Amino acid sequence: PMAFSPHAILKSVTRLIVSGQHALALADDMNFRNCLVTMRPTTKRSELPTRSTVRARINNEFVDFLDSIK
């Protein structure tokens, strides 16, 4: 992404968790969240993905995938 957006961060974190087979808890890990904030110091807590938002995105993308192959 060329510019910051909460959607782009959610997409990237989801891709990292799924492709790296990491636990969903990574999204809530304080050290990981601090890394994200370090890359953009003006980031607000509400702009960072949580375990719940990552889980919802994974679920929604899977449902969309299943719908596309029907």
Instruction: Report pTM.
Output: 0.90
The reported pLDDT for the residue numbered 1 is: 67
Helices 51-68 & 6-19, crossing angle to 10 degrees? 80
pLDDT band at 2 (very low <50, low <70, confident <90, very high): confident
pLDDT grade for 70, boundaries at 50, 70 and 90: confident
Q: What is the pLDDT of residues 38-68, one digit of tens each?
A: 999 999 999 999 999 999 999 999 999 999 9
Residue in this structure with the two tokens 């919802």, named with its chain if needed: 56
Alpha helices in the chain (DSSP H): 6-19, 30-39, 51-68
